[in-house]
Amino acid sequence: MKVQARSKPHVIVGKNEDYSVITVYRRCGNSSCPGTFEKPIAPENPYVMRGYDYDYEVQALICELRFKHCKTQKEIAEYLHEQHGIWIDETTVGDTIKLYEVGCGQKFKPEIVGKIKQNGGILLTVDAMEPLKGEPPIYMARDELSGLKILVEKLPNQKEATLEIFLLKVKRSVEEELGVKVIGIMADAEKEQVASIQKVFPDAKLMSCERHFYQNVLKEPLEIDRHVMVVIRAALRKLTDVKKYKARAPKSKKDLELLPFIDKVLDAILALSNWSRKPRDPAFSGLELRGRLVDVLGLVRKIYAEIGTGLFSKAEEKIIIRLKKGLEKCSATTSRAAAGLARIKEYLERIKAILDADNEPAGVGLERLRMLHEALVKASVEVKMTRFEHSFMNELGKYIETKGERLFIHRDVKGAPRTNNNHELEHLRLKHLLRRTIGHGAASYYLLGHGSHMMFVNPQERPEGIKKILQGMDLSLAKKIIAEEKNSRTTISIIMHVRDKWKEKLAGLQDYLMDLKRAKINPS
């Protein structure tokens, strides 16, 4: 190969220093070789992407700051300037992040497709997410076994016909691009969703999400449980002695330890009056609160038995009498609802034992659940059931007869999940990262336009691994993909949600109207 040309020195910004790069172009020097008529070639640059001013180390640091440390584009630009003396604008930071996301897809998608073929096909999970309240949902279809996101799309509604079009696109991707089949589908039990799935994938085994089963049958009991919580908190907050204690309650832990005994009891009641459901609480959090209320009432009754013994002052004895009366009234008000919720909780434990027996065939599980429902209905004759218990029984019976088979069919599909949890966690992981880094309003639109590439990013990837991905990617293809996505995000459906862009669009339309009027008045 003969040297044909050398480029001018190109200044590159590095992580710790700047340096110049010269590219040497070569071509065959044999005049009889056909290669003499082709364009000169240059080696791949190991330091920087073609056409970029920041080297791979700087790009790797940008991607690490975004995905490992969840920094915004502005924070990344500020960090590079403060820590490394690098001036870089936020747009360049954003473009680098997008390039890396596409590069991850290029590197890892073929590996995932290989795993899918080894698994014998796709185990599809389908679910929707509402990134912005009141906005149309973003639907996602993914493979449970590999985690591959097959399609993400913002749908105008959740009607059967709309979902059918979405699923046809999924089917085309699975069969034409991946060359595999769908062996099973996990979805919600909603009528429109089920009907569209059965039309598009008539031969695939349709499974219902276990978590959505509980939501269906427990709809009314959970409402009652929330009501119990509200009633108890309101009643405790109205207690005169609790209100007085709240006004004088100490702030530090050390001062709390020095409180007199009655104030310590009031402090416990005040804490109960501020009870709110925590992520690890059981489903019936209101019932749990009432259990704590009964515990405190038991303690107050023991204290009440000591009245007149000289253990407490006259003022304290009056507080004890008032507390006992108030707590007993609160307990009595919620006793019937609590008894019903406690019975349903016991039923749920028996249902859970049936659902957890994954070693049993699907048909056996369904029959056991049907028999349990029949036994509960018979036993309910002897108990004066609440209205919401009747609702629970009816919903359980309806679910068993209409969707019960789908609740257990995952046992017949190797590797099938019992819930859509992993699917929803993927949605949430992306949403939370985007909300942290680009804001709530823009997150859903970025996810819609570019989210399919983000699925392949490993947040814990080391800088060396990031560099290898950037060095090995098809840069021209990545730029083309990003350019197409940028165009899609300038459509009116996106612009109308961005105030400044919408004003600009509206002003443009108004100007166009004025031009039309002027043209009509002066045809020449």
Task: Return the domain boundaries, the chain.
Answer: 120-209+419-457, 210-417, 492-521
Torsion, CA 425, CA 429, CA 430, CA 433, rounded to 10: 160
The better pLDDT of the pair 289, 133 is held by: 289
315 or 517, greater pLDDT: 315
Give pLDDT tens digits for 211-259: 888 988 999 999 999 999 999 999 999 999 999 999 988 877 777 777 8
| Confidence at residue 488, expressed as pLDDT on a 0 to 100 scale | 47
User: Phi/psi at 12 (nearest 5 deg)?
Assistant: -115, 135
Residue in the block written with tokens 């994954």? 358
- Which amino acid type is present at position 464? E
What's residue 333's pLDDT?
95
- Residues 206-236, buried b or exposed e (16+ Cβ, 10 A)? bbbbbebbbebbbebbbebbeebbebbbebb
- Among the listed residues 1, 51, 57, the one whose alpha carbon sits nearest the alpha carbon of residue 21: 51
Would you say residue 438 has pLDDT above 70?
no
494, pLDDT greater than 60: no
CA 406, CA 486: separation in Å to the nearest integer? 41
Report the range of poorest mean pLDDT among 318-332, 429-443, 473-487: 429-443
Burial bucket for residue 498 (CB in 10 Å: 0-12, 13-18, 19+): middle
Q: What is the pLDDT of residue 445?
A: 52
pLDDT-based confidence at residue 181 (cuts at 50, 70, 90): confident
**Can you say how many angstroms the Cα of residue 169 is from the centroid of all Cα atoms in its chain?**
23
Contacts of 18 (CB under 8 A, 6+ apart): 11, 12
What SS3 string covers 293-340? HHHHHHHHHHHHCCCCCCCCCHHHHHHHHHHHHHHHHHHHHCHHHHHH
Residue with more model confidence, 391 or 447? 391
Which of 58-72, 179-193, 298-312 is least confident?
Answer: 179-193
pLDDT confidence tier of residue 458, bands split at 50, 70 and 90: confident
> Rounded to whole angstroms, how far apart are CA atoms 161 and 167?
10
Q: Are the C-beta atoms of 192 and 163 separated by less than 8 Å? A: yes
Q: Which long-range contacts (CB under 8 A, 24 or more apart) does 384-387 make?
A: 385/340, 385/343, 386/224, 386/336, 386/337, 386/339, 386/340, 387/220
Task: Give residue 321's pLDDT.
Answer: 96
Please state which CATH class domain 120-209+419-457 belongs to. alpha beta
- The average confidence (pLDDT) of the chain is 84
- Kindly report whether the global pTM for this prediction surpasses the value 0.75: no
In this predicted model, what pLDDT tens digit does every residue of 262-298 receive, in sequence order? Answer: 998 998 999 999 988 876 666 789 999 999 999 999 9
Average confidence (pLDDT) over 479-497: 59
Return the DSSP state at 206: E
Tokens describing residue 120: 């014998």
The model's confidence at residue 44, banded by pLDDT at 50, 70 and 90, is confident
- Six token digits for residue 228: 């119990």
Please name the residue that has the structure tokens 């060396």: 464
For residues 143-166, average pLDDT: 83
Question: Looking at residue 493, what is its pLDDT?
Answer: 47
Question: Of the ranges 135-144, 213-222, 257-266, 494-503, which one carries the lowest mean pLDDT score?
Answer: 494-503
Residue 189 pLDDT: 65
User: Is beta strand 10-13 parallel, antiparallel or unpaired with respect to 122-129?
Assistant: unpaired
Distance CA 452, CA 426 (A): 11
Q: Contact, 48 vs 54, CB < 8 A?
A: yes
Q: Residue with structure tokens 């819609």?
A: 448
Q: Tokens representing 451?
A: 């989210």
Helices (H), 385-497: 387-408, 421-438, 440-454, 463-472, 475-488, 492-495
> Is residue 472 within 8 Å of residue 104, measured between CB atoms?
no
Q: Can you give the pLDDT at residue 373?
A: 94
How many alpha carbons fall within 13 Å on the CB side of residue 305? 5
Q: In this model, does residue 484 exceed pLDDT 80?
A: no
DSSP state of 48: S
What CA–CA distance (Å, rounded) separates 255 from 516? 77
